[in-house]
Structure 1
Amino acid sequence: MELFAVEGLPEIEPGDDLAALVAERVDLAPDDVVCVASTVVSKAEGRVASLDDFPPGPRANEIAARLEAITGEEKDPRFAQAVLEESTELLLEAPFLLTETRFGHVNVNAGIDRSNVPGGDLLLLPKRPAESAARLREELAADRVVVTDTCGRPFRHGQRGVAIGWAGLPASRDWRGERDRDGRELTATVESVVDELAAAANLVAGEGAGGTPVVVVRDFEFGEHAGSDELFREVDDDLVRQAIRAWHFDG
């Protein structure tokens, strides 16, 4: 398997034809996986916003005041309002905002970015990343597309790439029912392939001022496995979410 960044992309602006800009700079091969950072998808889709677009309500003011008291840092209630409006559930209000986005992804601050946002204060995640991936796949005439983001992980320091939208391949490959080298049947292993591809692409794309938000994965083979599009856990099956809901920060 080979990964390489698509070089020479300009700063993406609202309304830009992202697929055309990528297609001008790379010749795709059959079965390539095109991994596209959500930042450029959001910019092309006009998801750049100003803090003034989010006049804070009472709850946002309360959240900002509490976080300011906890951290000792000034917190803008307009940002808290943006997070509330981009979320379906606020799992934690302190010591940080842990949210569920409208498409099921659980992350900090509804995935709102405040870096590398020319012309605005905030960059919101794509509204429907699965549809974004499907549209890019069609416009690029690509076999497979993954829209990626970076977020933290429970129990570990640091961030890594994850998939928030995908098209042309299942989210996971299911090893259950297959056998290991000793002949034992696998009963629990479901491999999140789109997350692994996103993490691999993030190693090549980099962070900060890298400017290479599109990575091509070549010669990846899904294999003869069953596939599944289940990536985000259902609420009733998510024991961690249930525990978080019952927990309150007392600091």
Structure 2
Amino acid sequence: MEVFAVPDLPEIRAGDDVAALVEERVDLRADDVVCVASTVVSKAEGRTVNLESVTAGERARALAGRLASITGESKDPRFAQVVLDESNALLLDAPFLLAETRFGHVTVNAGIDRSNVPEADLLLLPEDPTASAAALSTALGVPAIVTDTCGRPFRHGQRGVAIGWAGMPASRDWRGETDREGRELDVTVEAVVDELAAAANLVSGEGDGGTPVVVIRGFEFGDHGGNDLLFRAREDDLVRQALERWEFPG
């Protein structure tokens, strides 16, 4: 399997055709998967916000005030308002905002980005990353994954994850297959789109040197069942249930 970045992409702006820009630079093959950073998708879809256009409500002002008292740093209530606007729910409101986005991804500040946004204050995640991935997959003729980076509980650092995908299942389902000793696997479901997103992130880079579109060539899903259940449902997510009951002591 080969993983390489698409070279020489310009700064993406609202209305740009990301698929066409990729096709101009790479001759795609049938065994390719194209991974596109959510920042690029969001810019092309015009998902930017200027804070001067935001009016903070009472809850946002309260959240910003509490966070400021906890951290000792000034917090803009308009930013808190945008987080609320982009969220189904807040799992934590202190010591930071941990939000469930409208498409089911759980991440800090609803995934809102302040970096590499030359013409606005904030960059939101795509409104529907799976629909975005489907449009890219249809245009390119190969599977597509919209990626983001986020941390993992109990570990330092960030890694790539999939927030939208099309043209392939999200997961390999190993249940019912056997290990080398012949024992049947009954819980193993491999989040393949996350693994591909993490591989893409290794070569896409971060900061000001990033190359936000990556081609993974030669990936084979294999003879396994597949499913698209990537985000846990609330009723079987024990960590989420515990977080919803927990209160920050500060």
Q: TM-score range by the shorter chain?
A: over 0.9
Aligned pairs, number = 250
Q: Partners of 2:26 and 2:47 in 1: how far apart?
A: 26
Q: Partners of 2:112 and 2:179 in 1: how far apart?
A: 42
Aligned residue in 2 for 1:4: 4
Aligned residue in 2 for 1:65: 65
Deviations 1:51-87 (A, max 9, x none): 1232100100000010000001110000000000000
Aligned residue in 1 for 2:200: 201
Secondary structure of the structure 2 residue equivalent to 1:156: coil
Is the Cα contact below 8 Å between 1:146 and 1:194 reproduced in 2? yes
CA shift, 1:18, in A, is: 1.1
The AA in structure 1 aligned to 2:90 is L
What is the TM-score of this pair, normalised by structure 1? 0.99
Aligned residue in 2 for 1:56: 56
Aligned residue in 2 for 1:89: 89
Q: Partners of 1:211 and 1:95 in 2: how far apart?
A: 30
Q: Partners of 1:144 and 1:110 in 2: how far apart?
A: 26
Of all paired residues, the percent bearing the same amino acid is 72
Is the Cα contact below 8 Å between 1:9 and 1:211 reproduced in 2? no
Q: Partners of 1:140 and 1:47 in 2: how far apart?
A: 22
Q: Partners of 1:242 and 1:178 in 2: how far apart?
A: 31
RMSD (Å) for aligned C-alpha atoms? 0.6
The AA in structure 2 aligned to 1:212 is T
CA shift, 1:22, in A, is: 1.0
Secondary structure of the structure 1 residue equivalent to 2:207: coil
What are the within-5 Å matches in structure 2 for residues 1-251 of structure 1?
1-141=1-141, 143-251=142-250
Deviations 1:162-182 (A, max 9, x none): 000000100000001101111
CA shift, 1:31, in A, is: 2.0
The AA in structure 1 aligned to 2:24 is E
Q: Partners of 1:14 and 1:118 in 2: how far apart?
A: 12
Secondary structure of the structure 1 residue equivalent to 2:46: coil
Runs of 4+ aligned residues of structure 1 deviating over 6 Å after TM superposition are: none
Q: Partners of 1:119 and 1:211 in 2: how far apart?
A: 18
Secondary structure of the structure 2 residue equivalent to 1:209: helix
Secondary structure of the structure 1 residue equivalent to 2:209: coil
Q: Partners of 2:102 and 2:221 in 1: how far apart?
A: 29
The AA in structure 1 aligned to 2:192 is V
Q: Partners of 2:17 and 2:123 in 1: how far apart?
A: 18
CA shift, 1:194, in A, is: 0.2
Secondary structure of the structure 2 residue equivalent to 1:157: coil
Structure 1 gaps, min length 5 = none
